[in-house]
Structure 1
Amino acid sequence: MFQSSIIISFFFLLGMHLGYGQSAEINLKFKYDNKANPTGIDVTYTLSEDFSNNTERLLFLYDKMYPLQRSSDTISNLRVTDRLGAFPLKLQTNDKSNNSDYMSWSALRAQSGPLTVSYYVPLAPRIALKSGPVKDLQAAGDGLSGAIGSFLLFPDHSKKITINLHWMLNNGQEAVCSQGFGRNISFQTSIVDLFETQFLAGSLYSHASSKANMGFSMYGLGQEVNSELNASADWYEKAYKTIRGSLNGSPTSPFYYFFRSYDGNPMSSGRATNGSFLLYLPKQMSMNDEDTKVLSAHEMIHVFVSDLVDDDGLTDWYVEGIADYLSVKLLYDAHLINEKKYLEVVNGQVAEYYTNKLRSTPNKEIPKVMWSGTNAWTTPYTRGSMYFADLEGKLKQHKAKVTVLSLINTMDSMKKRGEKIDPDSWANLLKKDAGAWAVADYESMLAGNVIIPVDNAFGEKFKRKPVKARFFDLGFEYPKSIKVGEQIKNLRTNSLAAKAGLKEGDIINSAVDLIPLYRSYSKLLTIEVKRNGKVIPITYAPRSEVASAYKWTTIR
Structure 2
Amino acid sequence: MVSGCATTADSGDKATELAITLKPHADPDHGETIDTVAVTLHFSGLETGDIMKPVLLMPLVVSNVDSVATTLTDMKASDERGPLTLRVSDIDAPLEAAGDAESGGPSRAWLADRPIVGPVTVSFVVPAEATLPPRGPAPPFSFSADGGGVSASGHVFLPLPPGDATYRASFDWDLTALPAGARGVTTFGEGHVIAPEPLTSSELRMTFYMAGQIGAYPTVVPATGFFGAWQGEPAFDAAKLLAWTSNLYGHYSKFFGQETPPPYGVFLRYNPINAGGGVGLYHSFVTTFGAGDGADVEKIRITLAHEMFHTFQPYIESPPGLESSWFGEGLAVLYARRLALRFDSITPDAFLDDLNSGAGRYYTSLMATEPNSEVPKRFWADTRIRTLPYDRGMLYFATVDDAVRKASNGTRSLDDLMLAMLALEKSGKVTTNADWEALLTDALGPDAVTAFRGFLNGDMPIPASDAFGPCFERTTKPMRRYELGFDTAVLAEPKRIVRGLVAGSAAEQAGLQNGDEIVVPVPQDGIQGNQTEMLKLKIRRNGETSDITYLPRGETVEAYQWQRKAGTDDLDCAL
- TM-score normalised to the size of structure 2? 0.83
Question: Deviation of residue 197 (structure 1)?
Answer: 1.7
Shift of 1:384: 0.2
Aligned residue in 1 for 2:33: 37
The 1:452–1:40 alpha-carbon spacing in structure 2 relative to 1, beyond 3 Å, is: same
**Alpha-carbon offset, residue 294 of structure 1:** 0.3
Note the C-alpha offset of 1:75: 2.4
How far apart are 1:442 and its partner, in Å? 1.3
Q: Which region of structure 1 is more displaced relative to structure 2, 284-293 or 318-327? A: 284-293
Which aligned pairs between 1:65-80 and structure 2 lie closer than 5 A?
Answer: 65-70=61-66, 74-80=71-77
Residues 157-176 of structure 1, C-alpha deviations (whole Å, 9 max, x = no match): 54333334332325422222
| Deviation larger for 325-334 or 364-373 | 364-373
CA shift digits 1:272-299 (9 cap, x unpaired): 1222112222366666611111011100
Offset from partner CA, 1:117-149 (integer Å, 9 cap, x none): 333221325962132222222223223211233
Name the counterpart of 2:125: 120
Distance 1:301 1:422 in 2: 20
Aligned pair in 2 of structure 1 residues 511, 163: CA closer, same or farther (>3 Å)? closer
Residue from 347, 350, 353 that aligns with 1:338: 347
User: What number of residue pairs does the alignment pair up?
Assistant: 537
Which of 46, 50, 69 is equivalent to 1:51? 46
Contact 1:65 1:101 in 2 (8 A): yes
Cα distance in structure 1, aligned partners of 2:54 and 2:159 = 12
Superposed CA offset, 1:245-281 (max 9, x none): 33334443222111122x5323332221222112222
CA separation in 2, counterparts of 1:292 and 1:128? 23
Matched, 1:151 2:161: no
Query: Which amino acid in 2 is paired with 1:259?
Result: L
1:216 corresponding residue in structure 2? 226
2:313 matched to which residue of 1? 305
Between 35-44 and 452-461, the greater mean CA deviation after superposition = 35-44
CA distance in 2, matches of 1:164, 1:374: 38
Q: Using the alignment, how far apart are the partners of 2:394 and 2:258 within structure 1?
A: 22
| Structure 2 alignment gaps of length 5 or more | 1-8, 96-103, 567-575
Structure 2 letter corresponding to 1:307: Y
Measure, in 2, the Cα distance between the counterparts of 1:439 and 1:380. Answer: 18
1:128-277 correspondence to structure 2 within 5 Å: 128-170=134-176, 171-185=180-194, 188-208=198-218, 212-223=222-233, 228-261=237-270, 264-277=272-285
Residue 453 of structure 2 aligns with which residue?
443
**1:381 shift after superposition:** 1.3
SS for the counterpart of 1:139 is: coil
CA distance in 2, matches of 1:525, 1:21: 50
Matches within 5 A, 1:154-553: 154-170=160-176, 171-185=180-194, 188-208=198-218, 212-223=222-233, 228-261=237-270, 264-282=272-290, 289-311=297-319, 313=321, 314-400=323-409, 401-477=411-487, 480-481=490-491, 486-508=496-518, 513-527=523-537, 529=539, 538-553=548-563
Structure 1: where are the runs of 5+ without partners?
1-14
Q: Partners of 1:509 and 1:54 in 2: how far apart?
A: 49
> How far apart in 1 are the matches of 2:94 and 2:330?
33
CA contact (8 A) 1:221 1:260 kept: yes
Out of 68, 93, 114, the residue aligned to residue 109 of structure 1 is: 114
CA RMSD of superposed structures (Å): 3.3
In 1, distance between residues paired with 2:217 and 2:432?
37
Residues 398/521 of structure 1: CA separation in 2 closer, same or farther (3 Å cut): farther
Q: Identity rate of aligned residues, in percent?
A: 25
Q: 1:358 to 1:77 in 2, by over 3 A?
A: same
Q: Distance in 2 between matches of 1:532 and 1:487?
A: 13
SS of the residue corresponding to residue 317 of structure 1 reads helix
Equivalent residue letter for 1:51: L
Q: Is the CA contact (8 Å cut-off) linking 1:507 and 1:529 kept in structure 2?
A: yes
Aligned partner letter, 1:93: D
Q: In structure 2, what residue type is equivalent to 1:145?
A: S
- Between 1:63-72 and 1:317-326, the stretch displaced more is 63-72
1:538/1:321 Cα in 2 relative to 1: closer, same or farther (>3 Å)?
Answer: same
Q: Secondary structure at the match of 1:278?
A: strand
Kindly provide the CA deviation profile for residues 512-549 of structure 1, in whole angstroms up to 9, marking residues without a partner as x: 54344211345444545565787765444323345452
Please say if residues 24 and 174 of structure 2, whose CA atoms lie closer than 8 Å, have aligned partners that are also in contact: no
Which structure is richer in relative contact order (CA contacts within 8 A, separation 6 or more)?
Answer: 2
Letter in 2 for 1:344: D
Counterpart residue identity of residue 60, structure 1: L
- Evaluate the alpha carbon distance shift between residue 53 and residue 491 of structure 1 in structure 2; reply closer, same or farther with a 3 A threshold: closer
Task: Give the deviation of 1:338 after TM superposition.
Answer: 1.8
Q: 1:241 to 1:483 in 2, by over 3 A?
A: farther
Deviation, 1:223, is 2.2
Matched residues in 2 for 1:439 and 1:209: separation?
A: 50
Supply the AA of the counterpart residue of 2:444: A
> Could you tell me which amino acid in structure 1 is paired with residue 73 of structure 2?
S
8 Å contact from structure 1 (residues 91, 106) kept in 2:
yes
Which amino acid letter does the alignment assign opposite residue 204 of structure 1?
Answer: I
For the structure 1 residues 248 and 125, does the alpha-carbon distance in structure 2 shift closer, same or farther, using more than 3 Å as the test?
farther
